[in-house]
Structure 1
Amino acid sequence: MNPGDGGMDMQALLQQAQQMQQQLLEAQQQLDEAQVEGTSGGGLVKVSVNGRGQVEDITIDPSTIDVEDTAETAQTLSDLVLAAIRDAESSVEELQQEKMGPLAEGLGGMPGAGGMPGAGGMPGAGGMPGLSGS
C-alpha cells in the first residue's frame, strides 16, 4: 500500500466536496431569485412565493368580494387563498427538487448528508417553512 495514494484520494475527496459546496450555493442562489405563482379560483387569487417558499405577494381579484354577503365572501377568500398557497407550495417543491435533488443524490453516503428526505440534510432545501398544510 502506497501512503501517497491515500493522500491523493483525500485531496480528490476534498476537491469534490468544495465543488459540491459551490454547486449548493449556486442552487440556493437560484432558489432565492426564483419566483413561483400559485393560483386558485381560475386566477381570482394569486400567491407569489420565492424559491424557498416564502410568500412575497397575494393578489385578490376585486370581483371575488360580495359586499352583500361579507361572511360568505370572507370564507370564500380564505379558501381561495389557502388553495393558492398550496398550489404555490407544490410548485416550489418541484422547483426545489429540480435544483437541489441532483446535489442530494451526489452526496450519497457522505456523513451528515441525511436528515431530510429528498434534501440530503441540506439546510433550506426541503419543504416550505410556514406553508405546510398541517
Structure 2
Amino acid sequence: MFGDMSKMMGQLQEAQKHVEEAKMRLNTVLIDGTSGGGLVNVTVTANREIKKIDINENVLEDKEAVEDYLILALNDALKKAEKINEQEMAIAAKKGMPFGL
C-alpha cells in the first residue's frame, strides 16, 4: 500500500515538473494580435503576459478608436495564447501521468 502511495507521489511530482517546464517554455512563445487593419498590434506570451503594444500614430487622435482597437487586438492575442497554453499544459500534464489512467 505504501509502495503504491510512494509511486503515485513520484508520478505527481513528475507531472508537476513537466507543467513547470511547459510554463517556462510558454514564456518564450510570442503571439501577435491585431485590429483596425493593422492600426493596433499587440504581442503577448503564451502565458498571457503583454510584451508589446504598437499603435499607429494616425489613429492616436481618436481616443475612443484607440481604446476599441486596443481591446480587440488584446482579445485577439489572448484568445490565441489561451489556446496554445491549454494545449501545452495538457501535453505536460499527460507526460507525468501513469499509463492506464
TM-score range, shorter chain: 0.7 to 0.9
Matched residues, percent identical? 28
Are 2:27 and 1:32 equivalent residues in the alignment? yes
Whose strand fraction is larger, Structure 1's or Structure 2's?
A: 2
Which one has a bigger Cα radius of gyration? 1
**Displacement after TM superposition at 1:47 (Å):** 0.7
Give every structure 1 segment of 4 or more consecutive aligned residues whose post-TM-superposition deviation is greater than 4 Å.
none
Whose helix fraction is larger, Structure 1's or Structure 2's?
A: 2
| Match of residue 9, structure 1, among 4, 8, 11 | 4
Aligned with 1:42: secondary structure?
Answer: coil
Paired residue total: 95
Over aligned residues, Cα RMSD in angstroms? Answer: 2.0
Are 2:86 and 1:97 equivalent residues in the alignment? yes
**Structure 2 length-normalised TM:** 0.80
Q: Larger relative CO (CA 8 A, sep 6+): 1 or 2?
A: 2
Amino acid at match of 2:51: E
Rounded to whole Å, the distance in 2 between the matches of 1:61 and 1:38 is 14
**Structure 1 length-normalised TM:** 0.63
Ranges in structure 1 where 5+ consecutive residues have no aligned partner = 1-5, 108-134
Aligned with 1:90: secondary structure?
Answer: helix
| Match of residue 23, structure 1, among 18, 22, 28 | 18
Amino acid at match of 2:22: A
**Displacement after TM superposition at 1:101 (Å):** 2.6
Ranges in structure 2 where 5+ consecutive residues have no aligned partner = none
Rounded to whole Å, the distance in 2 between the matches of 1:7 and 1:91 is 43
